[in-house]
Amino acid sequence: MPSPPLPRRLLLGPGPSNVHPRVLQAMAQPLVGHLDPTFLAILDEVQERLRGLFGTGNAMTLPLSATGSAGMEACFANLLEPGDEVVIGVAGVFGLRMADVASRIGARVTQVETEPGTVLDGDAMTETIARVRPAVVAFVHAETSTGVLQPVEKIATAAREAGALVVLDCVTSLGGIPISLDEWGIDAAYSATQKCLSCPPGLAPVSFSARAVERASTRRTPVQSWYLDVNLLAGYFGQERVYHHTAPISAVFGLAEGLRLIEKEGMETRRARHSEAAKVLLEGMAPLGFQPLVDEPHRLPMLSALRLPAALGKAGEAALRRRLLDGYGIEVGAGLGKLAGSIWRIGLMGENARLTNVESLLNALRRELAQSEERPRRD
Amino acid sequence: MPSPPLPRRLLLGPGPSNVHPRVLQAMAQPLVGHLDPTFLAILDEVQERLRGLFGTGNAMTLPLSATGSAGMEACFANLLEPGDEVVIGVAGVFGLRMADVASRIGARVTQVETEPGTVLDGDAMTETIARVRPAVVAFVHAETSTGVLQPVEKIATAAREAGALVVLDCVTSLGGIPISLDEWGIDAAYSATQKCLSCPPGLAPVSFSARAVERASTRRTPVQSWYLDVNLLAGYFGQERVYHHTAPISAVFGLAEGLRLIEKEGMETRRARHSEAAKVLLEGMAPLGFQPLVDEPHRLPMLSALRLPAALGKAGEAALRRRLLDGYGIEVGAGLGKLAGSIWRIGLMGENARLTNVESLLNALRRELAQSEERPRRD
């Protein structure tokens, strides 16, 4: 009957990241109702702070009641109808996921691909947008599978000039680097709580521009998903505050506290903290044989993709990750998709972007790699 | 910066209900990763206990990473394709919601309606099923908008004899009364954590039979929702435990603890506790002028729909609910849909199904109603 004690983990993978104790305590507060005036005041506060982080005045900015992937689905489900053209920039697993999600809705998907670890080619995107004249253009700001930071404005401008709505994946960027949806001309964006917001997974912050809301309200066909239909969500997350579904109250308590902590620190300090932690990580990993996958100007500060030492091998990397977890309580992320077995993804996200965490990882790795080298000699 | 203190609430509406302190504490545990062996062990435990509560051996029994309404959508999205026929029993708001969800998927919906507060007519359902020969038959076990407990077996048998898959809404019943999906012949069922499981909202326990999984895997068209596609969910919630989306770790910690508490109590004790609390509630409410909407044999024990005293009026009932909330910290539920303004819904769910809570509500109401009667005389 008693719950087994959980091991302490330092979560240095691609998310979840560790959660501030104040956020955990906020989630442990006794519930109030989802239509309780005190809860609605917290929801107001959360929505306003999310607008700040997203860099937008969009009224329809809200924590969707599901994880980040549902945020992606919400953007496409509301803005695309069967037969619509969509151009998607694919620079990794999450661009591919966008294409899958959009095609299931019945959209006609044109992918513009680039090698994992590189940024999308702005010219190729621009030419394709001009040729296809899509209803929606979508790409990933911070590709969680490769650690690439994608420049936004050139593609967004080309899309808007062609009359398309622009969807941006901000899952890994929100709360770690500044975002300016309005300045960049983004119509729909989504994120997740378990990355740089340092909250548990479970909510997807999303933001829809007035143009996006208009598109959703003037569709020829209903949004296929009742749960994600922004026309219905507006009833609860807008001025009326009427019942649609029951909001995940405790998760919203946690997010409210997480957003307060971010506001207290300030985004500029937070960005600098992420940059410094990433720099020290890369400097420490290089002598151990881990080399950055991504060229310097396009590296994400909160998530570093590192090519593994050749000697490690596919079985070796999995075993080493397991030794880090079991021996040191440190989780790092494996490669995903094409990069499985050839890179690690090391996240220093939100609360975790601190030099003490970098040192913990480097010390553990140094010890484990030294032991690996000694072992064959003892045989 | 410090988070404002929240008021203490006794949540006697249609959910959320109050959460056991052990569940709150479980959610406040530091995170482990969503692929961590210790987390996957907890997920195993949760899935096995959910099978017990659902009365099923279905492998695909899992806590979906969204609220109960997404559980509804998951059942229809997986089992229906555009053009499929579906027969839906509509006995209140949640039956209507089923019809909306199914029609957005492109299914051809035939509704069999009954007056709010009554059960579906088994003969009418049987005749319609025989005539329409639908792919799916769906109805609500415990209609949260009316407090009606629907007999299941006659309709489920008729549906299976006609070759249809059967979807059952168990949002308000799971954990409050015994459920026997396998014995009843149900192919897909969904629930929510904030009702009789006494956890916060945020997860939707769902269960799919082998027949349902086969239907989903042999569809002509892909499931419209990537997030809810059981073919993909099976990768993470099945034997492989590979990444699909990031599970809401803290919410699963909470659900695990909530399910342990239910197992410790035992479903028979729990059912009896719900029945007794409902009985004492109705006995106490009658002298105050609140009369049951539902005939005795079909009343839900965990949610009582009560017609309001005629003198109260529509503005009066909203004001009285607000006085209960502000003056006593007690939340009760308003009527929904056709019944808005004419009934209250009083939930005694899970942890809240206790006589002390009934007494708290009755005492508060007696005082408030007495004061209302005095007021006109003072004018």
3-state secondary structure A217-278: HCCCCCCCCCCCCHHHHHHHHCCCCCCCCCCCHHHHHHHHHHHHHHHHHCHHHHHHHHHHHH
Interface touch A104/B225, C-beta < 8 Å: yes
Quick check: B137 and B126 in contact, CB under 8 A? Answer: no
For chain B, where do the domains classified as CATH 3.90.1150.10 start and end?
Answer: 266-378
Cα B291-B294-B300 angle, rounded to 5 deg = 110
CA A122 centroid distance within chain: 22
Q: Can you tell me the mean pLDDT for B22-35?
A: 97
Cα dihedral A154, A159, A160, A161 in deg (nearest 10)? 90
Contacts of B32 in chain A (CB under 8 A): 6-7, 9, 11, 331
Whether A11 has its CB under 8 Å from any CB of chain B: the answer is: yes
Strands A142-143, A136-140: parallel, antiparallel or unpaired by DSSP? unpaired
Contacts of B36 in chain A (CB under 8 A): 9, 325, 331
For chain A, where do the domains classified as CATH 3.90.1150.10 start and end?
Answer: 267-378
For A217-244, the pLDDT digits (tens) are: 999 999 999 999 999 999 999 999 999 9
For chain B, where do the domains classified as CATH 3.40.640.10 start and end?
Answer: 21-263
Interface touch A250/B248, C-beta < 8 Å: no
Domain B21-263 has CATH 3.40.50.300: no
Residue by residue, DSSP assigns B306-333 as EEPPTTTHHHHHHHHHHHHHHHH-EEEE
Chain B residue with the nearest C-alpha to that of A192: B246
- The angle, 0 to 180 degrees and rounded to 10, between the axes of the packed helices B153-161 and B122-132 is 10
Q: Can you tell me the mean pLDDT for B276-301?
A: 98
Give residue B377's pLDDT: 46
Chain A residue with the nearest C-alpha to that of B257: A3
Interface touch B30/A19, C-beta < 8 Å: yes
- d(CA A16, CA A41) in angstroms, rounded, equals 27
Quick check: A61 and A50 in contact, CB under 8 A? Answer: yes
Chain B residue with the nearest C-alpha to that of A245: B69
Contacts of A250 in chain B (CB under 8 A): 19, 24, 27, 200, 202, 250-251, 254
Chain B residue with the nearest C-alpha to that of A6: B38
For A338-356, the pLDDT digits (tens) are: 899 999 999 999 999 999 9
Instruction: Give the fold, CATH level 3, of B266-378.
Output: Aspartate Aminotransferase, domain 1 (3.90.1150)
Cα A23-A29-A35 angle, rounded to 5 deg = 105
Residue numbers in chain A where pLDDT is lower than 70: 1-4, 375-379
Instruction: Give the fold, CATH level 3, of A267-378.
Output: Aspartate Aminotransferase, domain 1 (3.90.1150)
Q: Shortest Cα distance from B377 to chain A (angstroms)?
A: 32
Whether A6 has its CB under 8 Å from any CB of chain B: the answer is: yes
Chain B residue with the nearest C-alpha to that of A13: B33
Cα B5-B9-B15 angle, rounded to 5 deg = 125
Give residue B70's pLDDT: 98
Which DSSP category does B24 fall into? H
* A258: nearest Cα among A173, A177, A336, A201: A201
Q: Shortest Cα distance from A179 to chain B (angstroms)?
A: 23
For chain B positions 61-100, those within 8 Å of chain A (CB to CB) are 65-70, 73, 77, 97, 100
For B160-192, the pLDDT digits (tens) are: 999 999 999 999 999 999 999 999 999 999 999
Q: pTM for this structure?
A: 0.97
A–B CB contacts, 8 A cutoff, strictly below:
214
